[in-house]
Amino acid sequence: MRKVALFLVLVMFISTFATGCVQKAEAPAEQPEGEESEVIKIGVFEPLTGANAAGGALEKEGLELAKELYPEVLGKKVELVFVDNKSDKVEAANAATKLIDQDKVSIIIGSWGSGFSISAGEVIKKSDRKVAAIGTSCTNPLVTKGNDYYFRVAFIDPFQGNVMANYAYNEVGAKKVAFIIEKTNDYAVGLAKYFEDTFKELSGDEESVVSKAYYNTGDQDFTAQLTSIKESGAEVIFAPGNFTESALIMKQAKELGVDIPILGGDTWETPEVIEIAGEAAEGAVFSTFFDANAKLTDTTGEFLKAYNEKYSKEPAAVTALAFDAYLLALDAIKRADSTDPTAIRDALAETKEFPGAAGVVTLDENGDAVKSAVIKTVKDGKFTYLTTVEPMKK
């Protein structure tokens, strides 16, 4: 009897163990992607650490504010999935891969920095899931060129370069120009080229560029470059580049007695420029996307009111662009009436006259926003509105 009882106990133990193993092997089915999901995921890749973290932080403000105002679409809650691209091109590509393959987002937003967007764009273009991206402040034409899945709410560098070359020639009255270019930055190299082409055309002088100096991202000493420019006879300096290096250039130019106007692009509208350059930033002029004094749409007023209530300060242009990118993503999802990435992409491509905080967005055949530019200067330690320039007519 004892043997029989022991045998029965052993059989029950084995049966229980086997049943437990079978139950553990039955993993729950994954939550269906798209229509059946209770949450709509919007992926975001931004430089939240590294050299460009200040720019990423400004765009993150705009995205989070927009989500607070509009937390749902198609009756579902929106989840913003942030991935840090660490101010690095390889990490930007990795971020896009994670958002598409692991996080299963329906659409992507980002990034501050054209180089990061170009790198991520290769992943986005080749992805089997066909997830579209909306660029925030990336302005290099290569972001969208040949990529049917990348769009943007910002104007592009050919327009921006044209705007600033016209300002240098017509407003400054310069006939000779010097460049100091961040050669490891796709944005800076491209913008300098568009400025140069327009300036030579305006002046009618192929010799109007009297000095070209270069530096690498992260450099801190620009003495040699600025000394060469000082001796060149230049009447204006165009210095597109990252905000940190640009601010150091302003400061060192003043210390060396380089007393000619310094012009730049949209990356300059970051508080760090004034903090680092101090008084040397006074009079610097740059192109950007938005200004609180140039109210463009009803959405502009809504954005300014909400931003002031939350942050009690004036927003940066890139913050307004990020706000618009989120709203445009929701608008595309609504028009698609679906969370299917392909349907959203197709709806996005049809965007016309979308009223964003930073102006009306119409996407052209390349996915680029056709919109106005704002010119600002630094006056009394503040970014100050000068004028608005309308897009070039084709």
pLDDT at 199: 97
Assess whether 132 and 241 both reside in one domain.
Answer: no
Which residue is associated with the tokens 């980002």?
A: 110
pLDDT at 36: 54
Pairing mode, strands 236-238 and 177-182: parallel
In a domain, 342, yes or no: yes
Structure tokens at 122: 């290769």
Q: What is the rounded average pLDDT for all residues in the chain?
A: 90
Q: Give the integer Cα–Cα distance in Å for 108 and 45.
A: 8
> Nearest 5°: phi and psi at 38?
-80, -15
Assess whether 131 and 76 both reside in one domain.
Answer: yes
Whether the bond between 111 and the residue before it is cis, its omega within 30 degrees of 0, is: yes
Residue 358 belongs to a domain with what CATH number?
3.40.50.2300
Amino acid making up residue 29: A
pLDDT in tens, 245-274: 999 999 999 999 999 999 999 999 989 999
Amino acid making up residue 249: I
Assess whether 282 and 348 both reside in one domain.
Answer: no
| pLDDT (mean) for 381-387 | 93
DSSP 49: S
pLDDT in tens, 291-330: 888 767 899 999 999 999 999 888 999 999 999 999 999 9
Assess whether 146 and 163 both reside in one domain.
Answer: no
pLDDT at 293: 80
In a domain, 15, yes or no: no
Assess whether 248 and 380 both reside in one domain.
Answer: yes
In a domain, 233, yes or no: yes
In a domain, 278, yes or no: yes
In a domain, 18, yes or no: no
* C-beta neighbour count of 314 within 10 angstroms: 14
Q: Which has more confidence, 388 or 2? A: 388
Is the per-residue pLDDT at 89 higher than 80? yes
Assess whether 187 and 266 both reside in one domain.
Answer: yes
pLDDT at 303: 96
In a domain, 20, yes or no: no
- Kindly state the percentage of the chain with pLDDT values over 90: 82
pLDDT in tens, 148-179: 999 999 999 999 999 999 999 999 999 999 99
Q: Give the dihedral of Cα atoms 364, 366, 368, 370; nearest 10 deg.
A: -30
Q: In which order are the strands placed within the sheet that holds 262-264?
A: 209-215, 177-182, 236-238, 262-264, 285-288, 373-379, 382-389
Q: How many structural domains does the chain have?
A: 2
Assess whether 204 and 301 both reside in one domain.
Answer: no
Assess whether 191 and 327 both reside in one domain.
Answer: no
Assess whether 262 and 173 both reside in one domain.
Answer: yes
pLDDT at 372: 86
pLDDT at 151: 98
- Do residues 165 and 285 lie in contact, with contact meaning Cβ atoms separated by under 8 Å? no
Collapsing DSSP to helix, strand or coil, 370 comes out as: strand
- Kindly state the percentage of the chain with pLDDT values over 70: 90
In a domain, 11, yes or no: no
Is the per-residue pLDDT at 22 higher than 50? no
pLDDT confidence of 371, banded at 50, 70, 90? confident
| Best CA proximity match to 266, nearest among 280, 292, 284 | 284
pLDDT confidence of 392, banded at 50, 70, 90? low
pLDDT at 26: 36
pLDDT in tens, 347-356: 999 999 999 9
Assess whether 181 and 218 both reside in one domain.
Answer: yes
DSSP 353: S
DSSP, residue by residue, 125-173:
HH-TT---EEESS---GGGTTT-TTEEESS--HHHHHHHHHHIIIIII-
Structure tokens at 116: 């990061």
Assess whether 255 and 381 both reside in one domain.
Answer: yes
In a domain, 369, yes or no: no
DSSP 84: E
Q: Give the integer Cα–Cα distance in Å for 165 and 192.
A: 10
> Which domain does 352 fall in, by range?
39-155+294-363
Assess whether 191 and 145 both reside in one domain.
Answer: no
Collapsing DSSP to helix, strand or coil, 45 comes out as: strand
Amino acid making up residue 314: E
Q: Give the integer Cα–Cα distance in Å for 48 and 87.
A: 7
Is the per-residue pLDDT at 2 higher than 60? no
